[in-house]
């Protein structure tokens, strides 16, 4: 029997484009794919990446501080907050418009600017490795390090980039509010870019110079929402082992045990498929009946019906 599901969907960067104009176009295509699921009766909660967008905002704020000595540099956590609102603005309007085209006149879509708490003792803070922003010359990098205390690293002969920590999410601060909205059947966009990274200092939440992986944040969100399914959308239709080799094999179905073995064997690239598979395994193993799927945006509906994608389950 066909079962309608509560689904957390993690949108990959290809769902948003790289520029203002590309995003305006991309969200229309993204909205159509998401509305296909809504039209089938599924309850969806949307998480998105923000790589190009937060880099653009960070660069603009840095340029402003260089031009105006009285303008302090904008913390990365504030740039993430800006990106959440800016992406949510486009995405929620695209969803509302597409739903109305399909006859849904009541279209309660809302973006929640979301903080995600991380552990200040997370080992990721001892070895910042996540590059953000554009490439700089040695002189520019030295200035940024001296003026703002940024950690700068040379990147494969292409120049210097700022690197920040990528700690694991511990708590979604606005979780209760998100739960209430979802329980009231609202379409919620939240945890954008993995969430605004914050650490708890007594009663104060302080922004951290970090980037949280959106797939891990989506996994935590899905568990806290008691979702049936986590769908991680990326640039490929299925997960592969021996990727790019003669014996490349695309996978339709993976048990948690099989997926963990492939991870142990080093089958997935650290900066690409690995966190997606790790997040999928974490969610699928967290409670009976939960499943995760990795596929293309435009194949999400087919994936739910078992026609494509890689499904991970107990």
Model confidence pLDDT, tens digit, residues 108-150 = 999 999 999 999 999 999 988 888 777 888 988 888 888 788 8
Q: Give every CB contact of residue 173 below 8 A, 6+ residues apart in sequence.
A: 114, 115, 116, 117, 198, 205
Task: Tell me, yes or no, if 13 is annotated catalytic.
Answer: yes
CA 192 to CA 284: how far, in whole Å? 22
pLDDT of residue 140: 85
Instruction: Write the pLDDT tens digit of every residue in 217-252.
Output: 999 999 999 999 999 999 899 999 998 898 999 999
pLDDT grade, residue 8 (50/70/90)?
very high
Catalytic, out of 13, 88, 133, 194: 13
How far apart CA 175 and CA 190 sit, in angstroms, is 10
Q: How many residues does the chain have?
A: 314
- pLDDT (0 to 100) of residue 116: 98
Residue 291, C-beta contacts closer than 8 angstroms, at least 6 positions apart: 228, 229, 230, 284, 311, 312, 313
Answer yes or no: 192 catalytic.
no
Q: What is the pLDDT of residues 263-308, one digit of tens each?
A: 999 999 887 899 999 999 999 999 999 999 999 999 999 999 999 9
What strand order describes the sheet that includes 130-136? 130-136, 160-164, 152-154
Q: From the candidates 12, 192, 276, 303, which is the catalytic residue?
A: 276
- Active-site entry in 214, 238, 299, 309: 214
Is residue 153 annotated as a catalytic residue, yes or no? no
Report residue 1's pLDDT band, with 50, 70 and 90 as the boundaries.
very low
More confident residue, 131 or 187: 187
104: which 2 tokens? 């849904």
User: Is 214 among the catalytic positions?
Assistant: yes
Q: Kindly report the pTM of this predicted structure.
A: 0.91
> Is 307 in the active site?
no
Span 22-74, pLDDT tens digits = 998 999 999 999 999 999 999 999 999 998 888 888 888 878 887 887 888 88
So what's the pLDDT on residue 77?
A: 93
> pLDDT digits over 190-199, tens only?
999 999 999 9
Catalytic residue among 12, 50, 55, 130: 130
- pLDDT value at position 172? 98
């Amino acid at each position: 029997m066909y079962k309608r599901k509560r689904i957390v969907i993690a949108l990959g960067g290809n769902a948003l484009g790289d520029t203002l104009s590309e995003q305006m176009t991309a969200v229309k295509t993204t909205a159509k794919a998401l509305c296909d699921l809504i039209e089938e009766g599924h309850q969806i909660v949307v998480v998105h990446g923000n790589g190009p967008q937060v880099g653009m905002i960070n660069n603009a704020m840095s340029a402003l501080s260089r031009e105006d000595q009285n303008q302090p540099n904008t913390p990365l956590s504030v740039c993430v907050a800006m990106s959440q609102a800016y992406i949510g603005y486009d995405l929620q309007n695209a969803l509302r418009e597409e739903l109305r085209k399909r006859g849904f006149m009541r279209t309660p879509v809302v973006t929640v600017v979301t903080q995600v708490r991380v552990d200040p003792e997370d080992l990721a803070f001892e070895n910042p490795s996540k590059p953000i922003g554009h490439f700089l010359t040695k002189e520019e990098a030295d200035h940024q390090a001296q003026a703002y205390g940024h950690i700068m690293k040379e990147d494969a002969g292409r120049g210097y980039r700022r690197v920040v920590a990528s700690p694991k999410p511990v708590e979604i601060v606005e979780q209760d509010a998100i739960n209430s909205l979802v329980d009231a059947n609202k379409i919620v966009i939240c945890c954008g870019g993995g969430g605004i990274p914050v650490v708890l200092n007594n009663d104060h939440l302080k922004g951290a110079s970090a980037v949280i992986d959106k797939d891990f944040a989506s996994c935590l969100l899905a568990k806290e929402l008691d979702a049936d399914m986590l769908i991680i959308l990326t640039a490929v239709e299925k997960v592969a082992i021996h990727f790019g080799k003669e014996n490349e094999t695309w996978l339709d179905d993976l048990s948690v045990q099989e997926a963990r073995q492939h991870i142990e064997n080093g089958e997935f690239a650290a900066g690409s498929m690995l966190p997606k598979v790790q997040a999928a395994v974490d969610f699928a193993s967290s409670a009976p009946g939960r499943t995760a799927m990795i596929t293309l945006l435009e194949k999400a509906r087919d994936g739910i019906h078992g026609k494509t994608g890689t499904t991970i389950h107990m």
